A and B are shown apart, each in its own frame.
Chain A
Amino acid sequence: MAEPILEVTGLVKHYPLTRGVLLRRQIGAVKAVDGVDFTLGRGETLGLVGESGCGKSTVARLLCHLERPTAGTVRFKGEDVTALSGRALKAVRRAVQMVFQDPYTSLNPRMTVGDIVGEPFEIHPDAAPKGDRRRRVRELLDVVGLDPDYAGRYPHQFSGGQRQRVGIARALALRPEIVVADEPVSALDVSVQAQVVNLLARLQTEFGLSYVFIAHDLSVVRHISDRVGVMYLGRIVESGPADAIYDHPTHPYTQALLSAVPVPDPGARDRRERIILTGDVPSPAAVPSGCRFRTRCWKARERCAREVPALAVPSVFRDAGGPAAHPSACHFAEERPAVAAGEPGDNGNGPG
């Protein structure tokens, strides 16, 4: 892996649940993020996938310092930034920018597109001298594939895909090193989604950006990511190189998730074996003991209720090596081919 630019250790965000108005007592906590570790290499894309409520968006907000973590550290180029404030924090914020999911609500409808893209310069005036800003804004619009002459228009005059380009231009204004993109294409139509995915890939090469790409669409994440972390109920349950996760998943949740993704190939209908999970994701305010996936897991045994499985390379794969030897937080991790593609997965154990 490339030199790490961001190292996250033991990241926790709990939102207290209180009762009473005058005498507020804490009666519990929503454990949105509950111990997340990962490393982002320079120039690399880390995909975070998971279903609603798994905490992936909270992780994004913590990385951009939109919220303060309850515990844990976020090291940017070796320096813990969770403790920073004032000028030092401002500098870090400039280097880590965010692209939001909804291009309809994340742009101020009363500002022109030029003002939106140029607003970061108001907060960080040293990023571009005053006389140069108009030119920089036009340049940014051009970079994301918008006509620079549109700088005087308002967001409602643009389509969803164009608005998302505006959001991307704004994120690039301060020449960040890391871009955290939270579901950047999920509000877009298929034909437009591909344009934006291609744009993000091109910008990464052009500006040497590192991406944290958060999405629930597993196909998009595979397309764009070098490494992937699968989240469930506030924790990463499996992580590793994208191909290892997608072709050799060892955590039952990842296997179920991948098996549930519809593949745009009617021929695969009869070849694939689906794992249909029962029930729903438990509330993050009442996380199950031990392994948090056990309430929906077909492999769960008594040990799963007692012991929290650590996110580490399972011992069965540690010595053998190969693509299955990546961190997986399951006591009973094993392989099974996830997607019935043209050929069956090599060295897989096969479905039981």
Chain B
Amino acid sequence: MLLEVRDLRVEFQTRDGVARAVDGVGYAVDAGETLAVLGESGSGKSVTAQAVMGILDTPPGRITGGRVLFQGRDLLTLKESERRRIRGAAMAMIFQDALSALNPVLTVGDQLGEMFVVHRGMSRRDARARAVELMERVRIPAAAQRVRDYPHQFSGGMRQRIMIAMALALRPALVIADEPTTALDVTVQAQVMDLLAELRREYRMGLILITHDLGVVADVADRIAVMYAGRIVESAPVHDLYRAPAHPYTRGLLDSVPRLDRRGRELNAIKGLPPNPLRVPPGCSFHPRCPMAQDVCRTDEPPLYEVPGGRGSACHFWRECLRG
């Protein structure tokens, strides 16, 4: 296994108390595999990724438990200097907003080249040549000229491709993409997702795709982990999950998206709102919104039950849910 996260716990100290943003999350990604982490805002999907990458702001954040095994080593026990060598070289991250993730006062050539200077000890001239190659690889037209341009001189789609180039510069074994296409228009989103899929195949990378978009997930993922209120509520191979969800939250999400290939008047919305992380309901955190909730759901927190077919569901009634 390339990456294995086990029972990860992250807390945030706030003025009003302690928020358990990540509450015992576990997932695994193999080389060449795409894992989609699906969740709404505040579900803890990005915080988990930040903890894995080692870029969590501490304080206010604090990792209170768990293990992050990357190529067999527990990253949480490493010194910061050792993590820095891994970050960028063996594991890299792509962010949602390329304009704020890139340095506005350096040319894109300098930023791309810096990867090779810092991690590979290359000369600036060689690094510049590699930067141009990379930009060509992500299909930036006239790369040799544009290597001297600044981030603001590129369109949103091109900036995102430059960030992909930067993440993949050192051929990392694992890439975490946090909502990489959310800020982009659909036609540009298609270009970027296409490019990412192509490079992933070519380099045999493991990819963790963090998103709220059920459509994007269906297009590219091998496995899905669905997060709700800091926990994984369902994990499954992508085809199985869309065909027969084993958790009522997943079912609710699938029913609530309007679809291009179906038309109806009323959407089956999930009632209510996701919980405040400072006041997560006792028992199953989804029970106040769940159409299937029973007494046991209000008192007993469900573990991630094993479901046949290499799946998991944190629902006491996963059998009933699977049956539909």
Contacts and interface: CB of A to CB of B under 8 A. Distances in A.
Main secondary structure of the interface of A (DSSP, over half): helix
B218 A264 contact: yes
A266 B215 CA distance: 8
A192 B252 CA distance: 11
A264 B215 contact: yes
A158 to B, nearest CB: 10
A223 B194 CA distance: 27
Contact of A194 (B185, B268, B273): B268
Given A189-B40, A198-B267, A262 B256 contact: no
Q: How large is the interface on B (under 10, 10 to 19, 20 to 34, 35 or more residues)?
A: 35 or more
A261 B260 CA distance: 8
A216 B186 contact: yes
Nearest to B154: A280
Interface string A250-288: 000000111111111111110000101111110000000
A342 B260 CA distance: 12
Given A191-B253, A219-B258, A267-B239, A260 B190 contact: yes
B260 A191 contact: no
Interface in A213-272: 216, 218-220, 222-224, 242-243, 246, 256-269
A271 to B, nearest CB: 11
Interface string A189-207: 1111111011001000000
A220 B258 contact: yes
Nearest to A279: B141
A224 B259 CA distance: 11
Given A189-B274, A280-B188, A246 B260 contact: yes
A258 B256 contact: no
B194 A276 contact: yes
Interface in A155-174: 159, 161-162
Contacts of B40: 189-191
Nearest to A256: B187
Contacts of A339: 260-261
Interface string A43-73: 0000000011000000000000000000000
A261 B256 contact: no
Contact of A52 (B185, B194, B238, B253): B185
A91 interface: no
Contacts of B274: 189, 191
A12 B230 CA distance: 49
A150 B39 CA distance: 29
Nearest to A224: B258
Given A219-B257, A261-B215, A264-B257, A191 B186 contact: no
Contacts of A257: 186-187
Contact of A277 (B41, B191, B216, B239): B191
Given A51-B186, A261-B260, A266 B238 contact: yes
Contacts of B41: 189
Contacts of B214: 190, 264
A111 interface: no
B101 to A, nearest CB: 19
A266 B194 contact: no
B269 interface: yes
Interface string B254-278: 1011111101111111110110000
Contacts of A222: 258, 260, 263
B305 interface: no
Contacts of A159: 273
Contacts of B268: 194
B260 A260 contact: no
B187 A260 contact: yes
A308 interface: no
A261 B258 contact: no
Interface in B208-230: 212-219, 221
A17 interface: no
A29 interface: no
Q: Which of A51, A189, A223, A264 is packed against the most chain B CB atoms within 10 Å?
A: A264
Contacts of A224: 258
Contacts of A193: 256
Given A261-B215, A262-B219, A264-B242, A51 B185 contact: yes
A194 B269 CA distance: 5
A278 B194 CA distance: 12
B264 A223 contact: yes
A341 interface: yes
B50 interface: no
Interface in A165-191: 189-191
A37 B321 CA distance: 49
A340 to B, nearest CB: 8
A192 B239 CA distance: 25
A190 B176 CA distance: 22
Interface in B25-50: 40-41
Nearest to A223: B258
27 contacts: A51-B185, A190-B212, A190-B253, A191-B252, A191-B269, A191-B274, A194-B256, A201-B266, A218-B186, A219-B259, A222-B260, A222-B263, A223-B259, A223-B267, A260-B187, A260-B189, A260-B190, A262-B193, A264-B214, A264-B242, A265-B218, A265-B242, A266-B219, A266-B242, A268-B261, A277-B187, A339-B260
Q: Which 9 A-B pairs have the closest CB atoms?
A: A262-B215, A223-B258, A194-B269, A194-B256, A51-B185, A260-B190, A189-B40, A341-B261, A264-B214
Interface of A: 51-52, 159, 161-162, 189-195, 197-198, 201, 216, 218-220, 222-224, 242-243, 246, 256-269, 274, 276-281, 339, 341-342
Given A191-B269, A264-B257, 10 more contacts: A51-B186, A190-B253, A194-B269, A224-B258, A262-B215, A263-B215, A264-B214, A265-B242, A274-B190, A276-B191
Interface of B: 40-41, 141, 155-158, 185-191, 193-194, 212-219, 221, 238-239, 242, 252-254, 256-261, 263-271, 273-274
